[in-house]
Amino acid sequence: MNKNKLIQSDSAVSEVVGYTLVFGIVVLAIGLIYVAGIPALQSTTDAAQFKSVEQGFMILNTDIRKVAFDQSPVRTTKLGTAEGGTLASDPAACNISIKIFDGAGTERFNHTIELGRIEFVSGVGSISCENGAVITRYGSGSIMTIKPRMFKSNQDQIMFSLIKVNDSSRSASGGISQVTISNPRFNESLFNTPEVYENGEMAIKVDSEYADSWARFLSSEFGATFNQSDGSTGWCNPRISFEKLVVVEYVVSVDIW
């Protein structure tokens, strides 16, 4: 009778089932970590690295201004870029167009100036230095975290300090990238002729992938409306009046490695 009870016992079966359930739970947990946990961790890591690059761009922008405004002949900025990101400079990526009209409404100046940019692009978003401004984009929208030196005083005096990037350079690997900014020549005044550019009006347009940020900045600073389209702020409406307009152009060389 004891032998029959031993044969009919469910103890061994229960132990096997228990081990199977535990093993299944462990496998399921590991699978969930690979499916959801690791991508989430990677996403958090990428976001942290992107934020670090954004902070580095603020330092880079300061170095660009120091070189452009003759405060330093050469500056080198180190940026810790995320794996898979691209850091590059493009002298034709950002343009500003300016029209100047005298008091009688006659057009006296019409010119498009290539400003260029230094930009980092990754799966998280992109960061750009354009004309002394730092602009960050997540998804379809962008925000200008540092404004350029373009302003209008209470006396209707307008000052534009335009910083041009005149080199094309590129670094596509993750890790530490170095950006060297230098001044290839003495600063040159684009134009400053008060006898022509006093008591007139100005129309302005910026062509850039970050046109939404440029339109908001220009509208806030100069009180004009921009009919923004893809890649352009469009011409301002109405024209911007001034008592005196000064536009100065600065040029910097960029080397990325």
pLDDT of residue 255: 93
pLDDT of residue 88: 93
The CA distance from 124 to 171, in Å, is 18
Phi and psi at residue 22, to the nearest 5°: -65, -45
Residue 85 placed within a domain: yes
Work out whether the CA dihedral 221, 152, 115, 57 comes out positive or negative: negative
End-to-end CA distance of the chain: 85
pLDDT of residue 189: 54
- For the segment 5-26, the average pLDDT, to the nearest whole number, is 60
Exposure pattern of 82-117 as b/e (b: 16+ CB <10 Å)? beebbbbbbbebbebbbbbbeeeeeeebeeebbbbb
Residue 137 placed within a domain: yes
Residue 33 placed within a domain: no
Whether the pLDDT of residue 208 is over 70: the answer is yes
Residue 150 placed within a domain: yes
Residue 40 placed within a domain: no
pLDDT of residue 146: 96
Residue 111 placed within a domain: yes
pLDDT of residue 10: 54
pLDDT of residue 141: 85
- The predicted-structure confidence for 96-146, as pLDDT tens digits, reads as follows 999 999 888 899 889 999 999 999 998 889 999 999 999 999 877 899 999
pLDDT of residue 194: 44
Least confident of 77-86, 131-140, 211-220, 241-250: 77-86
- For the segment 189-215, the average pLDDT, to the nearest whole number, is 82
pLDDT of residue 190: 55
Contacts with 37 (C-beta within 8 Å, 6 or more apart), sequence order: none
Whether the pLDDT of residue 83 is over 90: the answer is no
pLDDT of residue 232: 96
Give me the chain's average pLDDT, please: 83
For the chain, the domain total comes to 1
Least confident of 81-90, 128-137, 190-199: 190-199
What are the beta bridge partners of residue 174?
A: none
pLDDT of residue 29: 63
- The predicted-structure confidence for 152-181, as pLDDT tens digits, reads as follows 988 789 999 999 998 888 886 667 889 999
pLDDT of residue 123: 84
Query: Which range marks the domain in which residue 229 is found?
Result: 45-256
Q: How many CB atoms lie within 10 A of CB 149?
A: 17
Percentage of the chain exceeding pLDDT 70: 76
- The predicted-structure confidence for 17-52, as pLDDT tens digits, reads as follows 666 767 667 666 666 555 555 454 455 666 778 888
For 243, the 3-state DSSP assignment is strand
Cα-trace Rg, the chain:
29
